Amino acid sequence: MTEPTLEQAPSAEDRRRLRRLPLFANASDATIHDLLAFAPIATVGRNQFAAREGTTPNSLLAVVSGRFALMTQLAGEQPQVIGMAGRGELIMAAAAMAATPYPLTARAVEEARIASFPLATLWGAADRDHGFAADLARIACGEWRSIVSQLKDYRLRSAPQRFAAYLVRLAMSAGQPHQGPAEVELIDDRKTLASLLGMTPENLSRTIAQFRERGVIVTGRSVAIANLGSLADFAGA
């Protein structure tokens, strides 16, 4: 498994996508223009790494396309997926902002493209643009809240409840009504999803079969939910 390759300047479409990053929510046009001028795009092949656990970043990575599994591995054990990062999201932003070692490895689950913002240019922009500096702080805090939410998931929910909560989050992010029927698409393959939910692939398959009794029918990556409100109640969401 190799590192990112084919570094190139961002296209006009890449720039449009990058401008929509939460990173730039309150940044001035001048700040955005300056940062995009120093943000090369690299292609990361499937199963290649964008970041490795224990290495210290010198840039902030943003996903332009594709998805990454954020994972760790103990000696002699299978890798465990802790989180995911997809298009429009940052990869372990808090570690990059603090210039501390990455706590996880980022592996592409499909061919992906990433933009790299050198930390020196970020700090220079933050000194000049207080709105952008506030965005950096907000993103770091958001990552902390996400970690706490994940810990609550593992401590307070059973594996079937975690799967239910995952489906509810997918539906909410897709703008589905809070009650009644809903349809969603599983973003990740079952092996990746099982690891993300702290389950084995076999347990996930059994849970999917059992969820038919709850009105949840999974066909490939398509999921039909009879009543999203009932599923949310079961998940404790």
Q: Where are the domains of the chain?
A: 5-155, 158-235
User: C-alpha angle with apex 147: 197 to 122, nearest 5 degrees?
Assistant: 125
Distance of CA 228 to the CA centre of its chain: 23
Is the predicted pLDDT of residue 76 greater than 90, yes or no?
no
Using 50, 70 and 90 to split pLDDT, how confident is the model at 7? Answer: confident
Region 194-209: what's the mean pLDDT? 93
State the sign of the Cα–Cα–Cα–Cα dihedral 115, 121, 122, 128: negative
Q: In whole angstroms, give the CA distance from residue 22 to residue 146.
A: 15
Q: In whole angstroms, give the CA distance from residue 125 to residue 129.
A: 6
Whole-number pLDDT of residue 232: 93
Q: What is the dihedral of CA 234, 68, 151, 119, to 10 degrees?
A: -140
* Unique residue bearing structure tokens 């292609």: 43
Q: Considering the domain 158-235 in this protein, what is its CATH number?
A: 1.10.10.10
Return the higher-pLDDT residue of 177 and 138.
Answer: 138
Q: Considering the domain 5-155 in this protein, what is its CATH number?
A: 2.60.120.10
Largest CA distance in the chain: 57
Is the predicted pLDDT of residue 13 greater than 50, yes or no?
yes
Q: Considering only CA atoms, which of 88, 140, 136 is closest in space to residue 114?
A: 88
Is the predicted pLDDT of residue 5 greater than 70, yes or no?
no
Q: Which of 3-17, 135-149, 159-173, 210-224 is the least confident region? A: 3-17
Q: In whole angstroms, give the CA distance from residue 49 to residue 230.
A: 39
Region 177-201: what's the mean pLDDT? 90
